[in-house]
Amino acid sequence: MSDPAFLTPEEEFAQLQKLSNEYEPETTGPLVGDRQSSAAIAIEYANADPVYRVKTAALPAKYAFFRTCRGDGHCGWRAIAFGYFEALLHVGDVTKFEVEEARLISMNNLLNLAGHHEDLYIDFAEEAYDLLRKLAGSLQVGNGAGLLLEAFNDYSISMSIITYVKLLASSWIQSRANEYQHYISTDLKSYCSQNIEAANCEIDDVGVAALSTALLKPAGIGLEILYLDRSVGEEANVHEFSQPMNFNGLIPMIRLLYRPGHYDILYKAEDLPAPPQPAPIHVALAYNNQHNFEATTPDANLLSMIPGMYSHNRFQDMDQSFGQRWSPTSYDFDSIPAPQPQITPVQSYAPAPIAPVSASHQDYMSPVHASPMSHQSPASHHSLQMEQPPVQLPFHPAPPPPVSIDRAPIAIEREGPFRPSMYEFEPGYGAGEVMPFQTSQFRDSHYNTCHFRNPSFQPEEWSPHQYRTGNKGRHKSTSQ
Amino acid sequence: MSAGAKKRIMKEYGECMAETPPGMKINFDERNMTKWEVLMDGPDGSVYAGGHFKLEIVFPNEYPFKPPVVSFRTKIYHPNVSNDDKGSMCLGLLRPDEWKPPNKVVAVLRLIQSLMVEPNIDDAIEPSIANEYKENRKEFEKNAKDWVKRYAK
Q: Which residues of A250-277 are buried (b: 16+ CB within 10 A; e: fewer)?
A: bbbbbbbbbbeebbbbbbeeebeeeeee
Total structural domains within chain B = 1
What is the spatial distance between Cα B77 and Cα B82, in angstroms, rounded to a whole number? 9
**Among B5, B7, B65, whose Cβ lies nearest the Cβ of A163?**
B65
pLDDT at A302: 58
Which residues of B are annotated as catalytic? 90
Residue A324 near residue A330 (C-beta atoms within 8 A): yes
CATH code: domain of residue B140: 3.10.110.10
Q: How many Å apart are CA A241 and CA A209, to the nearest integer?
A: 7
Residues spanned by the domain of B34? 3-151
Contact list, B3 vs chain A (CB under 8 Å): 156
* Structural domain spans, chain A: 22-271, 281-479
- B22 DSSP 8-state letter: T
CB A150 within 8 A of CB A120: no
For residue A106, the model assigns a pLDDT of 93
Q: Which of B85, B84, B94 is nearest to B129 (CA)?
A: B84
Top residue of B12, B63, B65, B108 to mutate, by most chain A CBs within 10 Å, is B65
Q: What is A22-271's CATH topology? A: 3 helical TM bundles of succinate and fumarate reductases (1.20.1300)
Q: What is the pLDDT of residue A83?
A: 93
Is A178's Cβ below 8 Å from some Cβ in B?
A: no
A415 and A285 Cβ atoms separated by less than 8 Å: no
Measured between beta carbons, the chain A residues lying within 8 angstroms of B66 are 199
CA B83 to chain centre: 14
Kindly tell me the burial class for residue A450, based on how many C-beta atoms sit within 10 Å of its own C-beta (0-12, 13-18, 19 or more). middle
Q: Which helix (H) or strand (E) holds B143?
A: helix B137-151
Say if the Cβ atoms of B102 and A155 lie within 8 Å.
no
Per DSSP, which regions of A221-348 are E strands? 222-227, 237-242, 253-259, 262-267
Model pLDDT, residue A435:
52
Question: What distance in Å separates the CA atoms of residue A233 and residue A8, rounded to the nearest whole number?
Answer: 42
Q: Nearest C-alpha of chain A: how many angstroms from B59?
A: 14
Low-confidence ranges of chain B (pLDDT < 50): none
Query: Taking a C-beta distance cutoff of 8 angstroms, is the pair A345, A315 a contact?
Result: no
Question: Which residues does chain A have with pLDDT short of 70?
Answer: 1-7, 18, 21-27, 273-418, 420, 424-438, 461-480
Q: Is A3 exposed, middle or buried (0-12, 13-18, 19+ CB in 10 A)?
A: exposed
User: B96, A157: Cβ pair inside 8 Å?
Assistant: no
B4, B96, B104 member nearest A120 (Cβ): B104
A163 interfaces chain B, CB cutoff of 8 Å: yes
Cβ distance B5 to A156 less than 8 Å, yes or no, reads yes
How would DSSP label each residue in A355-367?
HHHHHHHGGG-S-
Shortest Cα distance, chain A CAs vs residue B146, angstroms = 36
Q: How far apart are CA A317 and CA A382, in angstroms?
A: 10
Contact A199 B100 (CB under 8 A): yes
Distance from CA of B136 to the nearest CA of A (A): 31
Which of chain A's residues have a Cβ under 8 Å away from the Cβ of B101?
A: 124, 159, 163, 199
Q: Give which of A69, A71, A65 is closest to A33, Cα–Cα.
A: A69
Q: Do A199 and B101 touch (CB under 8 A)?
A: yes
- State the amino acid at position A21 in one-letter form: N
Buried b (16+ CB within 10 A) or exposed e, B90-129: bbbebeeebbbbbbbbeebbebbbebbeebeeeebbbeeb
User: For chain A, how many residues are written?
Assistant: 480
Cβ distance B4 to A157 less than 8 Å, yes or no, reads yes
pLDDT for res B24 = 87
Closest approach of chain A CAs to the CA of B122, in angstroms?
Answer: 18
d(CA B78, CA B123): 12
Of A379, A368, A292, residue with least CA distance to A340: A379
